[in-house]
Amino acid sequence: MENVSSVQKQGGRVRRKLKNHYYYYQETRSSALDVEQSHPTLMIRDRGLSDLSLLPGDNNPQEIQNFLFFRTVTAPSLAGGCDFGLWTCHTLQASRLYPPLWHATTALGAIHRQFIADGNLLPYNPRSETVDRVRFALRQFNESIQSLTKMLSSGKALGKQDKVVVLTSCILFMCLCTLQGYQLQALMHISHGVKLMHEWGLGESSVVQRDDTDAALNMLLVMLTQLDTQGTHIQSRVGIQTTEQIEDRQSVYALEPFHTCLQAYVGLEKLINRLTRLDLNTHGASATHKEAILHDFTLWDAMFQDYLATRSETIEGNLLAVLNIRRLYAQTLFNDPAKGEVGYDEFIDQYTMIVTLAAQVLEAIYPDTRDVDAQSGNVSSPSKQPDYSLSVVISEAIFITAMRCREPSLRRRALQLLKRYPRREGIMNGTAATEILENYMLCEEQTCTGSLADNGRCSSDGLWICQKHRVDFQRFMDISRLGVQGMQKWRT
């Protein structure tokens, strides 16, 4: 019988084929009707999914079982309450009409089910049912790729809904890889999705929302941009290089008046992505470039305030909190390089608000949580199974806060949130990141003896942790062999 390793090798061959499949879209520029005309059932919400005979895999009980798991468990987890119906409605409906989505959702349902069953342990437990699920997921993965290739090479132009299906498939492929610990392949799928997004002219501005498909496109723009930002951070912090090198995709993003909160969300993530990439560009990280981006952030603030003053739509409270967290996080990226690690002390107010708002969002998502000892900060019960989300991205901001904020109590509050609410967001493994972060904090605090006393300092510069004993995170990753030299440990 095949073991998990052989199945995973087979998946590696499948994934290597994917790169060529993506570029078939260049041959599909002939005229065709929009998918809304050819598939009007996409707009019919009230039919739901109760009639299982309508599902593409009605003759395959295993496909139906894993699709239902995706519908009832995976989709709500990905949504997190802030997905504008992309996962919990649009993707489920489109899966009935588009084989690439059907097979991708059933594959992710199977892998997510195994992710939960094995308690987030990698490599997988070599039980027979584990091997069966992984083998099934890889077959579905292959079917999805083949169906996507057939769709893109059909000679028909891509309509709006077709583009939604392709970009959603990119994200689902990324999820399949990251839940199995294949981060390099996950980065590859993100890169492909971003390239397609720019090829189709979707990277220059948000989509004016006229229907549900436009809302789905905007949500995909948000997620792909966030994932690209995460990938940029990981590649730079860990020091890994992939076949898809970090490229300058900083096309000029045109800020236009916001008609929906989702359009504002797209604009904010585009600006954060530009700023993140600017920090990695040795030729572009000049004061002039940062001033230009700062001006755009100021413009975004003014436009968002105008939108809030004149809006007609109801905004869910968590979404506003998430937007505020992301905006505060962006402010902390404007640290003066000349000040080094000490410069982050100036953002104590932003860090405080990030932790406060993040706690509110997480408590709303997980009302039944475990108690944390107020004195020690220790979680009083065993860690629960990590959640997996794409639409609510806040762990990154919490992680950066605990990493760069040296105020002891606030730093510990941020670490407590990561422990209390173990999450995986996009390609960020919150559980592994928390362990690394805790060791990083101990490294600084134990070497700086002044930090053990109130207001004590070992040198004249730096609050809480003196400048002399502050450790650059990337250097910590290098000296602790947790960076690129420890890549083989990512799946353990």
Inside any domain, residue 72:
yes
Q: Do 413 and 455 fall within a single domain?
A: yes
Whether residue 9 is predicted with pLDDT greater than 50 in this model: the reply is: no
Structural tokens at position 300:
């975004």
3-state secondary structure of 379: strand
> What's the DSSP call for residue 459?
S
Q: Give the chain's mean pLDDT.
A: 75
Q: CB pairs under 8 A, 24+ apart, for 481-485?
A: 482/238, 482/436, 483/237, 483/238, 483/239, 483/240, 484/238, 484/239, 484/240
Whether residue 32 is predicted with pLDDT greater than 90 in this model: the reply is: no
Q: Do 230 and 102 fall within a single domain?
A: no
Out of 150, 185, 220, a domain closes at: 185
Q: Do 251 and 374 fall within a single domain?
A: no
69-117, pLDDT tens digit by residue?
999 999 999 988 777 889 999 999 999 899 999 999 999 999 998 888 7
d(C-alpha 265, C-alpha 86), whole Å: 15
Q: Do 120 and 72 fall within a single domain?
A: yes
Inside any domain, residue 415:
yes
Q: Which of 114-123, 172-181, 183-192, 315-324 has the lowest mean pLDDT?
A: 114-123
Inside any domain, residue 301:
yes
Inside any domain, residue 190:
no
d(C-alpha 236, C-alpha 401), whole Å: 18
Q: Which of 14-18, 222-226, 355-359, 417-421 has the lowest mean pLDDT?
A: 14-18
In angstroms, the Cα distances linking 320 to 77, 308, 328 are 19, 10, 12
In angstroms, the Cα distances linking 417 to 21, 116, 281, 287 are 41, 21, 32, 35
Q: Do 287 and 402 fall within a single domain?
A: no
Q: Do 29 and 73 fall within a single domain?
A: yes
Average pLDDT over residues 376-391: 61
Measuring CA to CA, which residue among 197, 83, 66, 88 is closest to residue 143?
66
For residues 394 and 383, the model is more confident at 394
330-348, pLDDT tens digit by residue?
999 888 777 777 778 889 9
3-state secondary structure of 154: coil
Question: Residues 486, 439: contact at Cβ < 8 Å?
Answer: no
User: Going by C-beta distance under 8 Å and a sequence separation of 6 or more, which residues neighbour residue 57?
Assistant: 63, 64, 67, 102, 106
Question: Residues 204, 31: contact at Cβ < 8 Å?
Answer: no
Q: Which of 113-127, 307-321, 357-371, 431-445 has the lowest mean pLDDT?
A: 113-127
- DSSP bridge pairs for 464: none
Kind and range of the H or E element at 488? Answer: none
CB neighbours of residue 197 within 10 Å: 23
Q: Do 37 and 181 fall within a single domain?
A: yes
Inside any domain, residue 34:
yes
Note the pLDDT of residue 58. Answer: 59
Q: Band of the pLDDT at 463, cuts 50, 70, 90?
A: low
Average pLDDT over residues 206-223: 84
Q: Do 297 and 375 fall within a single domain?
A: no
Measuring CA to CA, which residue among 196, 204, 250, 194 is closest to residue 226?
194
Q: Band of the pLDDT at 3, cuts 50, 70, 90?
A: very low
Cα diameter, the chain: 72
Inside any domain, residue 458:
yes
d(C-alpha 307, C-alpha 259), whole Å: 7
Ramachandran area for residue 472 (φ above 0: left; ψ -120 to 50: alpha; else beta)? beta
Measuring CA to CA, which residue among 233, 314, 217, 201 is closest to residue 266?
217
Inside any domain, residue 324:
no
Q: Do 173 and 252 fall within a single domain?
A: no
Q: Band of the pLDDT at 19, cuts 50, 70, 90?
A: very low
Note the pLDDT of residue 429. Answer: 81
Note the pLDDT of residue 447. Answer: 65
Out of 127, 158, 185, a domain closes at: 185
- DSSP bridge pairs for 70: none
How many domains, in total, are found in the chain?
Answer: 3
Q: Do 136 and 16 fall within a single domain?
A: yes
d(C-alpha 436, C-alpha 433), whole Å: 5
Inside any domain, residue 416:
yes
Note the pLDDT of residue 391. Answer: 81
- Please report where in the chains the tokens 């690209």 appear, as a residue: 228
Measuring CA to CA, which residue among 96, 90, 98 is closest to residue 67?
96
Whether residue 13 is predicted with pLDDT greater than 80 in this model: the reply is: no
285-295, pLDDT tens digit by residue?
567 788 888 99
227-284, pLDDT tens digit by residue?
999 888 777 766 555 545 444 444 455 677 888 899 999 999 999 998 888 765 444 4
Q: Do 169 and 237 fall within a single domain?
A: no
Which residue segment(s) compose the domain that 351 sits in? 339-489
Whether residue 423 is predicted with pLDDT greater than 70 in this model: the reply is: yes
Whether residue 6 is predicted with pLDDT greater than 90 in this model: the reply is: no
Q: Do 366 and 424 fall within a single domain?
A: yes
Q: Band of the pLDDT at 351, cuts 50, 70, 90?
A: very high
Q: Band of the pLDDT at 301, cuts 50, 70, 90?
A: very high
105-154, pLDDT tens digit by residue?
999 999 998 888 766 555 555 565 567 888 899 999 999 999 999 988 88
